[in-house]
A and B are shown apart, each in its own frame.
Chain A
Amino acid sequence: MTAPPLLQVRDLTATFTRGSSATRVVQGISFDIAPGEAVGFVGESGCGKSVTARAIMRLAPEGTPLTVGGSIRYRGQELTDLPEPAMRDIRGRRIAMVFQDPMSSLNPVMTIGAQIDDMLRRHGGLSRQAARRRTIELLGLVGIRDPALRADDHPHQFSGGMRQRVLIAIAVSCQPDLLIADEPTTALDVTVQAQILRLLLRLRRELGMALMLITHDFGVIAGMVERVHVMREGNIVETGATDTIFTAPTHPYTSALLAAVPRLSERGTA
């Protein structure tokens, strides 16, 4: 790989402290993401995937002290010691994120449109009217019908799948270089899952952004990413090209995860 990495993570550790006890949940992992590359992170529940994603975004859950060690470089710039205001310019603008549960991820008292507008106005410096036009464009882009009408709806008027589309529209609204999708389909039913994955694939191609796709399900990875990191208990235990991992896993844990995927062959490429 000759292009300098978009994201370079070295010896990343993440530790939760509660009182006097400290639990290290990410044990010093290293990986690169190249510009425009799609990388999968797969591992069982609780192995530290979400914490890794949040460490990159510097988003500790409210009220829990999370200490991050090691180095995270975005285009050569160290993020771990970046002042908070500078980090806010990176969040959403350079690195955006889609979360697992679309039902609880939208502000219930704001309209859908307003929740895209505030992001556009924050990073793009758009006027009210320009933001509104772009919002409607974005809702159309992620496949919401009658976007101009639906922009004034509240989240409770949208289905789970539609809400995840809105959250994806929010995430890509400022054309980030990297989209972190943390289990974006886990909370959705199977038919909707495939639609959302197809949408992510299309947007990634159209916008040329890198994708960090996190999942516990190897079935989601197939056809979506070029490379896979397999995580277990805070470590990366295996890394490889997606095809190689599927056909010839070297780590027994990877084989076990693969065996747990139902009807893999039937899905083909999503």
Chain B
Amino acid sequence: MIRLVALRLALMLPILFGVSIVAFTLMRALPGDFAQASAGTTAISAEALETIRRNLGLDRPVWQQYLGWLAHALTGDLGTSFVTRRPVAGELLPRLAVTGELTLIAGLMAMIMGTATGLASARLRGATDWMVRGLNSLLLAVPNFVIATLIVLLAGLYFPQLAIFNYVAFVADPAGNITGLLLPALSLALTVSVTISENTRAAVLEVASQDYVMVARAKGLRRRTILVHYLVRNALTPVVTVTGLQLAALLGGSILIETIFTVPGMGQYLFDSVANRDYPAIQAIVLLSATIVLLVNVLVDITYARIDARVSYE
């Protein structure tokens, strides 16, 4: 088990290395750079542009720039923002915490909604199955930013006392912080819950037809025992996989949702950084997001091994 985790963690390094190269070169392949972006529409002399570039090291070949960045990154220094001239890490971490919290709440919501509806759909069949699947298709057809906009509009119309756009820091007001994130989390969670719901339904139906469930019934076990120990525990493995994969989608989705709900997370920061061509900031965001997604995958694998004893032997 420990070996499995160590191996998975070690495998993250080459992947992150690859990600860093791709992000680094892609950014520089974009038209324009920080010097032009900061000049905006004001006329600026070619020499002035060159000075800015030279000061930031943007005049060197890309591979030299990359090696310079890598050398610092390996010591834990993610560089300085072109815009604010402050260390990127210090700017990013508070925002990451906000996005992390939003993603976590949305993930929990999606898991609860998805597994509950999927389970009900598979066990009760009939009208419930119909309703759940109908609702799922509907939600799947509507992108989550549309859902978010609808939620904002409806909440504004019918519950004006709900302060949707008032983000408060967790340390200042924990309860207010969490309730403030509920609506953005809900609009994020709905689309993901559909995937979890459909996968739970399929997994439970698949498990229900297994011989060992027939054996459990032949033992005269109570319905609840069969549901919990035979159906759900076996259906959990595929459900954990999709949930883990969906966390990456949640992270991506939160960038959009944060902009709609004006939540001061990574989304807004990424948007501004790209607009300004703030290379060190973008590079740090990409790398951190990739690390999080990879860590979640390792977590999924550990969960697997905890659920299903066969995994750790393979």
User: B-contacting residues of A (Cβ < 8 Å)?
Assistant: 57, 59, 61-63, 88-93, 96-97, 99, 101, 104-110, 118-119, 122-123, 154, 156, 167, 170
For residue B3, CB closer than 8 A to chain A, the reply is no
Q: Check A61–B229 contact: CB distance below 8 A.
A: no
What is the bound-complex CA distance between A89 and B221, given in angstroms? 9
Contact of A104 among B212, B216, B310, B313 (CB under 8 A): B212
Task: Please name 18 further chain A to chain B contacts, defined as beta carbons within 8 Å, in addition to the given A99-B211, A170-B219, sorted by A numbering.
Answer: A62-B214, A63-B208, A63-B209, A89-B220, A92-B219, A96-B218, A101-B211, A104-B212, A105-B212, A105-B215, A107-B216, A107-B229, A108-B234, A108-B310, A110-B229, A110-B233, A118-B229, A122-B221
Q: Check A90–B230 contact: CB distance below 8 A.
A: no
What is the bound-complex CA distance between A158 and B227, given in angstroms? 25
Q: List 28 A-B contacts (CB under 8 A).
A: A59-B214, A59-B217, A62-B213, A90-B220, A91-B217, A92-B219, A96-B218, A96-B219, A99-B211, A99-B218, A104-B211, A104-B212, A105-B214, A105-B215, A106-B215, A107-B230, A107-B233, A108-B212, A108-B310, A109-B234, A109-B307, A118-B225, A122-B220, A122-B225, A154-B309, A156-B310, A167-B215, A170-B219
Contact A119 B221, CB 8 Å, known A61-B209, A101-B211, A109-B234: yes
What is the bound-complex CA distance between A79 and B307, given in angstroms? 38
Q: B41 to chain A: closest CB distance in Å? A: 63
What is the bound-complex CA distance between A108 and B212, given in angstroms? 9
Inter-chain contacts of B308 with A (CB < 8 A) = 108-109
For residue B210, CB closer than 8 A to chain A, the reply is yes
Q: A93 to chain B: closest CB distance in Å? A: 6
- Find residues 266-314 in chain B having any chain A CB closer than 8 Å to their own CB: 307-310, 313
Inter-chain contacts of A89 with B (CB < 8 A) = 220
Q: B281 to chain A: closest CB distance in Å? A: 45
What is the bound-complex CA distance between A175 and B216, given in angstroms? 17
Contact A91 B219, CB 8 Å, known A110-B229, A156-B313: yes
Q: Check B220–A93 contact: CB distance below 8 A.
A: yes
What is the bound-complex CA distance between A227 and B209, given in angstroms? 33
Q: B259 to chain A: closest CB distance in Å? A: 42
Q: Check A88–B222 contact: CB distance below 8 A.
A: yes
In the complex, what residue of chain B is closest to A64 when comparing beta carbons? B209
Q: Check A118–B219 contact: CB distance below 8 A.
A: yes
Q: Check A88–B212 contact: CB distance below 8 A.
A: no
Inter-chain contacts of B219 with A (CB < 8 A) = 91-92, 96, 118-119, 122, 170
Inter-chain contacts of A110 with B (CB < 8 A) = 229, 233
What is the bound-complex CA distance between A46 and B279, given in angstroms? 70
Interface residues on B, range: 20 to 34
Contact of A92 among B218, B234, B313 (CB under 8 A): B218
Q: B86 to chain A: closest CB distance in Å? A: 50
Inter-chain contacts of A99 with B (CB < 8 A) = 211, 214-215, 218
Residue of A63, A104, A118, A170 most packed against chain B (CB within 10 A):
A118
Contact A156 B218, CB 8 Å, known A62-B213, A106-B212: no
In the complex, what residue of chain A is closest to B236 when comparing beta carbons? A109
Q: Would you list the 8 A-B pairs with minimal beta carbon distance, nearest first? A: A92-B220, A91-B220, A104-B211, A92-B219, A154-B309, A97-B218, A88-B220, A107-B212
Inter-chain contacts of A156 with B (CB < 8 A) = 309-310, 313
Residue of A89, A97, A109, A170 most packed against chain B (CB within 10 A):
A109
Inter-chain contacts of A118 with B (CB < 8 A) = 219, 221, 225, 229
What is the bound-complex CA distance between A89 and B309, given in angstroms? 31
Q: A149 to chain B: closest CB distance in Å? A: 15
Q: B123 to chain A: closest CB distance in Å? A: 11
Residue of B211, B213, B229 most packed against chain A (CB within 10 A):
B211
Q: Check A109–B233 contact: CB distance below 8 A.
A: yes
Residue of B215, B222, B307, B313 most packed against chain A (CB within 10 A):
B215
Q: B302 to chain A: closest CB distance in Å? A: 16
In the complex, what residue of chain B is closest to A90 when comparing beta carbons? B220
What is the bound-complex CA distance between A107 and B218, given in angstroms? 13
What is the bound-complex CA distance between A119 and B216, given in angstroms? 9
Inter-chain contacts of A90 with B (CB < 8 A) = 220
Residue of A59, A97, A107 most packed against chain B (CB within 10 A):
A107
Contact A104 B210, CB 8 Å, known A109-B233, A109-B307: yes
In the complex, what residue of chain A is closest to B219 when comparing beta carbons? A92
Inter-chain contacts of B208 with A (CB < 8 A) = 62-63
Contact A109 B221, CB 8 Å, known A99-B214, A99-B215, A167-B215: no
What is the bound-complex CA distance between A167 and B230, given in angstroms? 16
- Find residues 215-263 in chain B having any chain A CB closer than 8 Å to their own CB: 215-222, 225, 229-230, 233-234
